[in-house]
Amino acid sequence: MKKYGTFLTLGVFAAAMGILEAAVVVYLRRLYYPLGFGFPLSGLPQEMISVEVIREAATIVMLACAGVLAGRDLPRKLAYFFFSFGAWDIFYYAGLRYFLGWPASLLTWDVLFLIPVPWLAPVLAPLLCALTMVLLSGLAGAGLENGREVRATPARLGLLAGGTALILYTFLRDGLAAAGGGEAGLQALAQYVPTRYNWALFGLGEALILAAAALTIRGALRGRAG
């Protein structure tokens, strides 16, 4: 049981961080979106956007530090970081739902991040990513703690990188297009109302990541790299 105490501690830490983050967003939305948050985006001054970017960066640093402190080698540090990140994201949305009754549904669109450009997607997409991170990093961390051989072969890394790239593209496509358009592009993004998300590409990305995980788990259970 002691082997899994780190996951429990990190889970509590990530949950507290997620709820704290949700509380901060409650204040922001009360100040700048008193009628409710939605698209098109408007109301947040440029200086506050800069503050938001710094807040997001600080959050990632805190989660990364938790993973670094919890793990004794690089594979464990990465596993603990992704576990913390996924748990944080889940509790962040749970906190928003509790405090604001938002999102109204899992298909409600949200601005996920602002670094380096806005990430846009229905809430269900980042939640599925978060659940995947919690599950796979938990399995990897538990395997390592139990002496299993968890290796990343070129094929597995290729599947993982390809799946991650596809998912990131679905999040960043519109933000990247706006950034490439300069000031006019940013103004267009401010008036942007999302209507369709590329679930097919997202699903393919998830499938590639899960395939990489399945190969890794099979290799670990066999006690060898392949």
| Residue 125: C-alpha distances to residues 65, 80, 117, 132, 153 (Å) | 25, 21, 18, 11, 27
- Between 45 and 29, residue with greater pLDDT: 29
Contact 208, 166 (CB under 8 A): yes
Residues whose CB is less than 8 angstroms from the CB of residue 181 and which lie 6 or more positions away in sequence, other chains included: 188
84-123 pLDDT, tens digit each? 999 999 999 999 999 999 999 999 999 999 888 889 999 9
- Spell out the domain ranges in the chain: 2-222
H or E segment and range at residue 226 = none
Does the pLDDT of residue 178 top 70, yes or no? Answer: no
Percent of the chain with pLDDT over 90: 55
Give the pLDDT mean for 137-155: 80
Cα–Cα distance measured from residue 114 to residue 120, given in angstroms and rounded to the nearest whole number: 9
Tell me the pTM: 0.89
Give the pLDDT mean for 204-211: 97
Does the pLDDT of residue 185 top 80, yes or no? Answer: no
Does the pLDDT of residue 1 top 50, yes or no? Answer: no
Predicted confidence band at 131 (pLDDT cuts at 50, 70, 90)? very high
